[in-house]
Amino acid sequence: MMRGALKDARVYTDWRMVTIFFLGVSSGLPLALTLGTLSIWLSRIGIDKTTIGLLGVVTLPYTLKFLWAPLIDRLPMPVLGRWLGRRRSWALATQLILAGAIIAMALTDPVESIGLFAVFALLVAAVSASQDVVIDAYRVEILDPTRYGAGAAISVFGYRVGMLISGAGALYLADHIGWSAVYLVMAACVAIGLITVFLCREPVVPERVPSATSKLGAFLKDSVIAPLIDFTHRRLWLVILLFVLFYKLGDALAGAMTGPFLVELGFTNTEIASVSKLYGFIATLVGLAVGGWMIARFGTFTSLWIAGLAQLLSNLMFAVQAGVGHDTGMLALTIGLENFSGGIGTAALVAYLSGLCNLLYTATQYALLSALAAVARTVLAAPAGRLAEETSWVNYFGFTAVVAIPGLILLMVLAWRGAMPRRAG
């Protein structure tokens, strides 16, 4: 058994996994720069909360990226495409524009020019979302189906490291060099992705027609309509979409109110940072690693089921925390279970989505599925604050646990009907 476990673990030493890790870092780096870190910067310099809240819409491209994914999936990049190939040339182009957009944010005073600043933040989010489309497609195309689980785990691992750099790392630097300089440093960190693109290999995938020089109607039919029609040919495709939508809804509802909950219980910023951020980050990484191992050992559906149950239990742990109150030991258990189960669930869900993609339409189909999964945290979780105000914390987190049940039921339906993920084409 130990020999088998070591054999499974060696998958992470594959050059493809190393590449996926660093591309994951590049993918995760920009997110906090238009979300958490950005809101703290604006708060520190006196921008009002209404404006900060409105600026949250700049992250919308992460949800809408499936709209332009067909273009990235099919159109070759002029000049760069002949040199690096389709995926690597798009990755390089998005990273260069991303670095420039972050520099533009750094050099713009949000107090004097909040409108222009918002435009640059929106550009960062849009280009970052486009980079995600390329990197997700690259990961699926470069791996064998048996490596999807490990690939998902190492990709999210890298993504979390990127978020840590632009989150905790940026906040630490801000106390020493100022916010504009911090964003210039973050722009320099984009070099992680640039170097990786130059060193990695272009995946070999089936050739597709029509070419980019075809008429617009034929292009749209082949690049937009065909991937959607292809997906509807899958068994229980509507159930699959509902499962993707609801699987992490309970987790999203709980996460949306975790910050206000901990503040109301009286936890200090230091306690929240130490337990929720740093310790939680470590628990997530462990969960991702375990998730990748579980998928290789037991399969995607078993891993999704175990992770779903664990996520439900972690929501109930928050209800218990509400009853216990200010207790850092209990908080460590609660945050540990939440992030550990979330790590397993994320690795399993990414592996599942990867397995659903047809190699002919990788970027388009994965962007659509991942955008649907993001709806839970961006749209369906929007009423969380109002709901929390109308009830007690115990009842609220109990409700989030109940909301997690439909996703598990849909998973059981998929397993019962044999709708296993597979590569088409």
- pLDDT value at position 398? 92
Report CA dihedral (24, 29, 34, 36) to the nearest 10 degrees: 100
Report which of 18, 80, 33 is spatially closest to residue 187, judged by C-alpha positions.
33
Both structure tokens of 42:
């604006």
pLDDT in tens, 341-380: 888 888 888 888 877 877 777 767 777 787 777 766 666 6
- pLDDT value at position 225? 73
Mean pLDDT value across the chain:
80
pLDDT in tens, 403-421: 889 989 999 998 887 765 5
Q: What is the pTM of this model?
A: 0.65
Domain parsing of the chain, residue ranges = 10-205, 215-425
Query: What distance in Å separates the CA atoms of residue 266 and residue 195, rounded to the nearest whole number?
Result: 44
- pLDDT value at position 269? 55
> Tokens 């489309």 map to which residue?
133
3-state secondary structure of 14: coil
- pLDDT value at position 170? 81
Query: What distance in Å separates the CA atoms of residue 304 and residue 53, rounded to the nearest whole number?
Result: 34
* Same fold: 10-205 with 215-425: yes
Q: Which residues of 159-174 are buried (b: 16+ CB within 10 A; e: fewer)?
A: bbbbbbbbbbbbbebb
- pLDDT value at position 423? 38
pLDDT tens series, the chain, 425 aa: 444 444 555 656 677 888 999 999 999 999 888 876 777 777 677 777 567 656 767 877 887 887 787 788 777 787 777 788 888 999 999 999 999 999 999 999 999 898 999 999 999 999 999 999 899 888 888 887 777 777 877 888 899 889 888 877 887 788 788 889 989 999 999 999 999 999 988 877 655 544 444 455 665 666 567 777 777 777 788 888 888 888 888 887 787 667 667 767 877 656 666 676 678 788 888 888 888 888 888 888 888 999 999 989 999 999 999 999 899 899 899 989 988 988 888 888 888 887 787 777 776 777 778 777 776 666 665 566 567 767 888 998 999 999 889 989 999 998 887 765 543 33
> Tokens 């950005």 map to which residue?
38
Single-letter amino acid code for the residue at 225: I
- pLDDT value at position 391? 83
- pLDDT value at position 221? 65
Fold (CATH) for 215-425: Growth Hormone; Chain: A; (1.20.1250)
For 357-378, the DSSP string reads: --GGGHHHHHHHHHHHHHHIII
C-alpha dihedral sign at 174, 24, 107, 184: positive
Domain 10-205, CATH:
1.20.1250.20
- pLDDT value at position 91? 92
